[in-house]
Structure 1
Amino acid sequence: MTDFSLRLPSTRFRAVLNLGEKRAASIALPPRFSKPELFADWDDDEATSAIYVAFDDGQLHLECRGSDVAYHFHRGEDEASDTSPWPAADTAVLVEWGTTLALGFHELMPDLMDEIEEAGAWHDAGYSIYVCETEPAQLDLLEVEVEGELLTLPWLGAGHVDNEHIDGDNHPIALLWTPGTDEPDQPIAEAWLDPTTEHPVTRALPGVDWDAVGLPADEVQSWLEGIYLNHHVIPDAQSALLAAVLERMAGVDGVDAS
């Protein structure tokens, strides 16, 4: 079991970024949508961006390519649907706000994502503030708390390991292993997030030669639990800053957009 008392201290990090006009922040959302969980992604190869808006009772997903925005809804773990989980009037405002946010975010791609990544690297290097390079503009100061990671040992088994996302519910990952120095490619364990406890669950895969791995299955599972928490649950500086950027652009962080 992971020891939650063994963790690095949390830190405060500030970044100065140019977020543009923040048009979505001028749209007043219905009270039921006052606290969205926001995430965004950018596909450099396809030149598309995506915005994910989650609430306890449903989700709105938007994809932007140029000036075109497509969207769909989810109710829990249900498949994508054109039918909203919410009343029509509230949905209309939500879609207008989400579309405006998606377009505004897309206009800043890929430079904004590059700056967020660079800011995260500055935090990891020990700096407390990042300032973007820009022409004179109305800039935004964002401050985030970066939760300290759990202290975990390096891989103490034989060979090398890596982890990757796999298909399935509740954000599963596979722990990949190789006995030598090649790229790890043999799955030996899996981890996913229990939606009730919000804590990782792990399992060792059958047919693994644990003597060759160099650690017993239970130790591998315990180690994987810590890795899952650090890299897939606890937000790093880059993830925390991206969330703060989206909240500022969306007008849901409590700061006056004007």
Structure 2
Amino acid sequence: MGHKFFLGSVLPPLKVGIEPPLLFEDLLILFRENLKPSEMKKVRAIRLLLDLKNVEALVKKAPIDPRGNLTEKELDEALVNQETLPPYLFELLDNYETAAEQLAHFEKVYVIFFKEMEESHQGFLRWYFSFERDWRIILAGYRAKKLGGDLLKALQYENPSHPLVAQVIAQKDAPFFEFPFEYADLGEKIEEVRGDPMEQYLAMAKYRFKKVEEKVQDHPFAIDLSLGYMVMLMIVEDAYALDEKKGQENLNEVVKGNL
């Protein structure tokens, strides 16, 4: 318990909109020095999402996020040798030859990722992957209705029998999008800053931050606190790096489920 108490004692408070008091790389050093191998495996599980996003970035010929498990060189090697990363990623890349086709169907990778991670973990990780999947489904529906897009196409890789997916799809012919009851507060926050992509992005960041914080705040000595802190730090880092020029781009990434 000593190492967990140590981490809970030294991790500085975080707040969306304020410069992060700790670098992500420094947090990883603390983790490596104080967490057990089984706990570091949970850290890698969260960072796997960044690895998948980084593969998508490579397909786009865009910069990668350095917070993933793998460096750009390691990603290249993993893709060439088809190892380290999940099989469903390689399957998608093999099924579509062009970058445009791969990007058009890359959402399928995230859908499978969240499903498998939710099914294979317990405790905080299971809650976290479920939460991340749910708000992405909701925002995909919201964006489709707002922009007059095809809601069914936006959720084409989701299981239509999943309660939340079914609830969102049921609104395909509705005049406007109504957020599910348990996410009504998110809907209010998004609508309050409607028309301002940057403020919508920040509202989403604050919402995610608060939900994770509430989930782990009563477990100061558990690995859950360390995992939750890492997630919150990434949210804070992303929000702090936001500027008005990138506002629209970042909001689009959020509602497409790629953040």
Quick check: TM above 0.5?
no
Q: Which has the higher helix share?
A: 2
| Structure that is richer in strand per residue | 1
Give the TM-score of the pair, scaled to structure 2: 0.21
